[in-house]
Amino acid sequence: MFDSSTEEPAKKPITDKNGDEPKPGDLIEIFRNVYEHWAVYVGDGYIVHLLGPDGNFSSFSTINLPVGKNNILKQKLLEVVSSDEWLINNILDQEKKPRPPHLIVDQANKLVGTTRLYHVTKYNCEHFATELRYGDPESQQVEDALKIGLGVTGVSLALGVVIVALLVWKTNQSTSN
């Protein structure tokens, strides 16, 4: 006869803010206050991710451009997420073919406990996660920040040219009168 008292309760599925359940090899985007932290889901509720140089989950929590060697950890997804929102975001799947999930997970697990050289713009947690999934490190956060920075620089430069042109015009007007 079957004894239901020894039966384990069913585990509650882990779902992102859209109600989707991650699969091994998926990229996980965690929304912090001013940045996103990235990780790779390796199954059974765990992620592998690269810590920022200050020991936090990303580098944007510091003012300087951090550089240094940092730990690659395997931790429970929900512990890393804490109270922040997160979602499955295989960000480059439309542009690049993801590597097979078992290869992503195997490589991620082999890297646990090792260190990587970290640089906020050249190799951060998003570079780490996309490199595992696609074989090529990319960071949309960095690209977007650079575009914004170049846009601000371009606007500033254009404004400077207009001001100089007005000063030259005003100087020419006052010398011709």
Active site residues: 37, 49, 125
Extended beta strands in the chain, E state: 27-31, 36-43, 46-50, 67-76, 85-88, 115-119
The two three-digit tokens of residue 177, written as one number? 């009168």
In the block, residue with structure tokens 């490199």: 131
- Give residues with Cβ within 8 angstroms of 29, minimum separation 6: 36, 37, 38, 86, 87, 88, 89, 91
Q: How far apart are CA 21 and CA 94, in angstroms?
A: 20
| The total number of residues written for the chain in this structure | 177
